[in-house]
Amino acid sequence: MQNDFFQELKSFFQRFPGIGPRQASRFVYSLTDFNENDRKKMGELISSLDRYLARCQNCSRIFLLGANSREFCGFCSENSRRDKSKIMVVEKDSDLLNFEKTGVHGGVYFVLGGLLDPLDGNSVPKNRIEILKNNTKKASEIILALPSTKLGDFTCEYIKKTVPSSFIKITRLAKGLSSGVELEYADESTLKHAFENRK
């Protein structure tokens, strides 16, 4: 029973991106060093997540819920001044935040929630590409800001085949990004150069 408890808690931590069995075990061990009040507070914060955070129904970006819409983020709302004809497709929310720091993209974003892997049954990116396809009616350009990896390349090719490109310009970031680089860890000047020299 005790082993089942440990394994179940560990399996939840393993659902986080980039967390393997060893690191998940460390998280469980660390939690035992938290005092009871901290663990209780952490549990309350996790339970309250839906009250404070949501994913935009248009771009899948995580945003803080305010007094306005519970469906659309500030970038996608009707009163937003962003150029909605330009959609930048990123793998994860941290990539979006990194690009926002550069100030080079005045359009909107679309968060895939992962990359397509033909050997993996993860349907999140595939389902979101279908949403992206439906969101491109007013788009003039789709910028594929995905990593220069095999899965990144595969995902880009899939999007190019799926999204009707006869009326939309589909570009990809310039290869100023090193092969295999994660956008989350790229510096601002590298991202800016890659954006400005996209093809």
For position 13, which CATH number holds?
A: 1.10.8
**pLDDT band, very low/low/confident/very high, at 199 (cuts 50, 70, 90):** low
pLDDT greater than 70 at residue 194: yes
- 38 and 120 share one domain: no
Instruction: Note whether 119 and 109 are within 8 A (CB).
Output: no
Q: What is the mean pLDDT of the chain?
A: 88
pLDDT greater than 90 at residue 128: yes
What's the structural domain count of the chain? 2
pLDDT tens digits for 143-184?
A: 999 998 889 989 999 999 988 767 789 999 876 666 666 777
Nearest to 116 by CA among 159, 87, 145: 159
66 within some domain: no
Residues 6+ apart with CB under 8 A from 65: 51, 52, 53, 54
- 184 and 111 share one domain: yes
**pLDDT band, very low/low/confident/very high, at 185 (cuts 50, 70, 90):** confident
76 within some domain: no
- 21 and 97 share one domain: no
- 173 and 93 share one domain: yes
- 89 and 181 share one domain: yes
Choice among 43-47, 53-57, 116-120, 145-149 with the minimum mean pLDDT: 116-120
* Highest mean pLDDT out of 26-40, 67-81, 138-152, 183-197: 26-40
**pLDDT band, very low/low/confident/very high, at 122 (cuts 50, 70, 90):** low
DSSP 8-state assignment for residue 82: S
pLDDT greater than 80 at residue 104: yes
60 within some domain: no
Say which CATH number the domain at 161 has. 3.40.1360.10
pTM: 0.80
- 116 and 181 share one domain: yes
Full residue range of the structural domain in which residue 93 is found: 82-196
